[in-house]
């Protein structure tokens, strides 16, 4: 029977229908787009080809255990789980509960994310849990929490953008990352109001051509200064909504004073964006005919990412955009369940319902649902980069369980991560393919793919969606809910662990009740009716498609304008082949590429990493198009082909982060993090670029 579900990739969660093909391709299905507000029946290349992996010959279908000679052998589930439980119990007894850590993923269903957080804190007793969403949404989440008192990617339905007059889009290449989204930009483009901030003339930036808008090609890492400059113009030209500031915010006076220092010509010198363009954008945003400000990873994946996202929020507040119909601020959640994955317990400092783990009332509530004493629940742990830094350290992590992540491709300074993984007593990876991280594991546990499981996901607009099973998994493949249930039983964990997603969701709903991300009025049964379920969704409510219409989530109902400023620049001038590396995505690939690099059609279209270089820069370095080049710094060297394009700044190079081995972009990125969010610095890395000495036959 056909099953209505949603795409397994990004947070747009495009609707699709899967129809099993038991005769032509046993174990697989055909896919059709389904009419839904976010995608309106459309899918991108990744969505159309998503079923190709369901019957892939590379699928892991039985538990694997590393042997003494480094090879893997298939074992039974009892043997694999007994090995994991025995080693974990021994580590806890010898080195303490925090010697065992869990690293989760933003692609897990709400049910799996919730049960993973509960398992870590009760079955393992560890505070050491975080997830790869720390590399994605953490800066925007931190900024939203301190400004609004709550974090939801889009606090309005994505359809609201259809009527926009002006959309300022910073650091998000949606034409490549979530193509169906660009349909919601059509109205702003028709009115000449799409403004894209990006160091590259990306596919999204090109949507501004022919009078459809403006491309602000700011220098990498200068977005904070650009936003301060726009805010300065709004104040200086009398464009601020003073009544809104007085009635709905606090902190505007300090912001006005601090932005006095960022007049347009000074901002132009720091960002490379002409002062005239800055003035034009500020006036356009202030016209009051439906303005939206949206941010993405390009402005958030920095050591000052929280402050940059805060500056975007400040600008939206000064203009009076937030909490009004027909205008707003939002951030583009990336991973499929990046929103729900951070709401229910994978983050090191949070409990279900977006509760702070250090809050006594929150601990009491969740402990009551779990049937334990609050003292059993550990305190805050470490964000992802710090957690990975502890691998193998004296008094640090000795056993690591990885769910839904490929850290030796996606984490910053991956060679350091690889060295840490090699020192562990036990590395367990749950996956359906032999990813680069799984290749280093001691135990690999095969898990269900998206089309083989029931559950829920939460989209970038805070809408809770049903994922439905279309196919049965291979005989020896298991759900992570079942795996966690079995390990919890072996470890003698307090509380109950179900393998039934509907039962787990009901418990999640109770645990979230009264929290910021309240799902307590929802169930699989209710979601199966097709209801538009935007959280918070308490019992008896109709959900909350639009936040902040009446008040913000702080106790006094006011938004906080937080004064921010750029750090003094201490970087030396770029000379002798030293350039700024930015990383990002390609249309054909997703995250670490562990899935999309295995889809033949996508792999043929983008088989390798290519570094984009401006032709003038390449000429100065003696580099020709298609030549193999080396990018290097103190952390390592990447080798890939050069792609010459005038779509990038002279001082900047771009490398996609989907590839592994010598093409892995994160060999070069550093472990420095934002002090508020724990976000790594992914978008501003100094590298030296030279032609490679390696001989390439077709060069």
Instruction: Output the average pLDDT for the chain.
Output: 95
Binned at pLDDT 50, 70 and 90, residue 678 comes out as very high
Given a cut of 60, whether residue 182 has pLDDT beyond it is yes
pLDDT (0 to 100) of residue 466: 97
Angle, CA 595 vertex, CA 589 and CA 599 arms, to 5°: 75
Per-residue pLDDT tens digits for 398-455: 999 999 999 999 999 999 999 999 999 999 999 999 999 999 999 999 999 999 999 9
Given a cut of 60, whether residue 105 has pLDDT beyond it is yes
What is the pTM for the complete model shown? 0.96
Given a cut of 80, whether residue 136 has pLDDT beyond it is yes
Given a cut of 60, whether residue 108 has pLDDT beyond it is yes
pLDDT (0 to 100) of residue 699: 36
The stretch 106-133 carries a mean pLDDT of 97
Helix (H) or strand (E) holding 29: strand 29-33
Query: What is the rounded distance in angstroms from the CA atom of residue 50 to the CA atom of residue 495?
Result: 36
The stretch 349-364 carries a mean pLDDT of 97
Given a cut of 50, whether residue 379 has pLDDT beyond it is yes
| Domains by residue range for the chain, with CATH | 3-53 (2.20.25.90), 64-135+339-527 (3.40.50.740), 138-331 (3.40.228.10), 578-691 (2.40.40.20)
How do the residues of the chain divide into helix, strand and coil, expressed in percent and rounded to 5? Answer: 35, 20, 45
Per-residue pLDDT tens digits for 505-526: 999 999 999 999 999 999 999 9
pLDDT (0 to 100) of residue 594: 95
pLDDT (0 to 100) of residue 693: 62
Binned at pLDDT 50, 70 and 90, residue 336 comes out as confident
Query: What is the rounded distance in angstroms from the CA atom of residue 78 to the CA atom of residue 63?
Result: 10
Query: Would you say 510 and 530 are in contact if contact means Cβ atoms under 8 Å apart?
Result: no
Q: Which of 161-170, 331-340, 579-588, 657-666 has the lowest mean pLDDT?
A: 331-340
Written as one string, the DSSP assignment of 43-102 is --HHHHTGGGGTT-TT---S-EEE-TTS-EEE--HHHHHHHHHHHHHHHHHHH-GGGEEE
Q: Which residues touch 224 (CB under 8 Å, ≥6 apart)?
A: 299, 304, 307, 308, 311, 564, 566
Binned at pLDDT 50, 70 and 90, residue 1 comes out as confident
Start-to-end CA span in the chain (Å): 51
Query: What is the rounded distance in angstroms from the CA atom of residue 610 to the CA atom of residue 663?
Result: 9
Given a cut of 70, whether residue 576 has pLDDT beyond it is no
Per-residue pLDDT tens digits for 489-504: 999 999 999 999 999 9
Binned at pLDDT 50, 70 and 90, residue 23 comes out as low
Binned at pLDDT 50, 70 and 90, residue 570 comes out as low
């Amino acid at each position: 029977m056909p099953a209505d579900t949603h795409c397994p990739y990004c947070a747009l969660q495009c609707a699709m229908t899967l129809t099993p093909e038991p005769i032509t391709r046993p174990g697989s299905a055909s896919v059709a787009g389904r009419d839904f507000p976010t995608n309106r029946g459309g899918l991108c290349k990744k969505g159309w080809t998503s079923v190709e992996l369901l019957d892939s010959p590379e699928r892991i279908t039985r538990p694997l255990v590393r042997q003494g000679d480094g090879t893997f052998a298939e074992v039974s589930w009892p043997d694999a789980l007994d090995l994991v439980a025995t080693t974990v119990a021994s580590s806890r007894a010898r080195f303490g509960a925090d010697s065992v850590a869990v690293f989760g993923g933003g692609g897990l269903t709400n049910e799996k994310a919730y049960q993973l957080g509960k398992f870590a804190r009760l079955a393992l007793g560890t505070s050491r849990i975080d997830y790869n969403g720390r590399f994605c949404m953490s800066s925007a989440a931190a900024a939203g929490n301190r400004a609004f008192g709550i974090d939801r990617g889009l606090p309005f339905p994505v359809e609201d953008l259809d009527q926009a007059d002006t959309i300022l889009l910073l650091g998000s290449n949606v034409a490549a990352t979530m193509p169906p989204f660009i349909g919601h930009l059509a109205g702003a483009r028709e009115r000449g109001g799409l403004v894209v901030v990006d160091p590259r003339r990306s596919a999204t930036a090109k949507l501004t051509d022919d009078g459809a808008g403006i491309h602000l090609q700011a220098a990498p890492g200068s977005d904070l200064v650009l936003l301060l400059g726009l805010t300065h113009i709004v104040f200086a030209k009398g464009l601020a909504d003073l009544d809104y500031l007085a009635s709905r915010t606090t902190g505007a006076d300090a912001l006005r004073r601090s932005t006095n220092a960022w007049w347009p010509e000074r901002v132009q010198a720091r960002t490379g964006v002409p002062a005239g363009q800055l003035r034009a954008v500020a006036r356009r945003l202030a016209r009051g005919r439906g303005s939206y400000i949206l941010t993405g990873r390009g402005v958030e994946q920095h050591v000052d990412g929280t402050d940059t996202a805060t500056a975007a929020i400040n600008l939206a507040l000064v203009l009076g955009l937030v909490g009004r119909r027909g205008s707003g601020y939002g951030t583009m959640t990336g991973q499929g369940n990046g929103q729900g994955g951070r709401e229910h317990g994978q983050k090191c400092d949070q409990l279900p319902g977006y509760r702070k783990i250090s809050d006594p009332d929150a601990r009491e509530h969740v402990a009551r649902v779990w049937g334990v004493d609050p003292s059993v629940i550990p305190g805050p742990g470490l964000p992802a980069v710090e957690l990975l830094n502890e691998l193998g350290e004296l008094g640090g992590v000795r056993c690591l369980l990885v769910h839904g992540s490929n850290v030796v491709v996606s984490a910053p300074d991956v060679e350091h991560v690889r060295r840490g993984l090699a020192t562990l007593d036990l590395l367990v990876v749950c996956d359906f393919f032999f990813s680069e991280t799984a290749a280093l594991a001691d135990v690999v546990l095969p898990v269900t793919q998206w089309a083989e499981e029931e559950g829920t996901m939460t989209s970038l607009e805070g809408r809770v969606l049903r994922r439905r099973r279309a196919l049965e998994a291979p005989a020896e493949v298991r759900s992570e809910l079942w795996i966690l249930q079995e390990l919890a039983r072996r470890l003698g964990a307090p509380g109950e662990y179900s393998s039934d997603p509907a039962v787990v969701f009901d418990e999640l709903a109770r645990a979230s009740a009264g929290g910021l991300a309240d799902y307590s009025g929802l169930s699989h049964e209710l979601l199966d009716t097709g209801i538009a379920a935007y959280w918070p969704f308490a019992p008896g409510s109709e959900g909350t498609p639009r936040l902040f219409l009446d008040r913000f989530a702080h106790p006094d109902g006011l938004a906080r304008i937080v004064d921010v400023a750029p750090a003094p620049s201490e970087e030396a001038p770029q000379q002798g082949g030293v350039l700024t590396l930015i990383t990002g995505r390609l249309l054909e690939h997703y995250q670490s590429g562990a899935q999309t690099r295995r889809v033949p059609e996508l792999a043929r279209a983008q088989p390798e990493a290519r570094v984009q270089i401006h032709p003038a820069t390449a000429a100065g370095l003696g580099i020709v198009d298609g030549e193999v080049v080396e990018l290097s710094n103190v952390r390592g060297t990447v080798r890939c082909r050069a792609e010459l394009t005038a779509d990038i700044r002279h001082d900047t190079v771009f490398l996609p982060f989907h590839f592994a081995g010598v093409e892995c972009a994160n060999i070069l990125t550093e472990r420095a993090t934002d002090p508020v969010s724990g976000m790594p610095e992914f978008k501003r890395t100094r590298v030296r670029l030279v032609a490679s000495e390696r001989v390439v036959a077709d060069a």
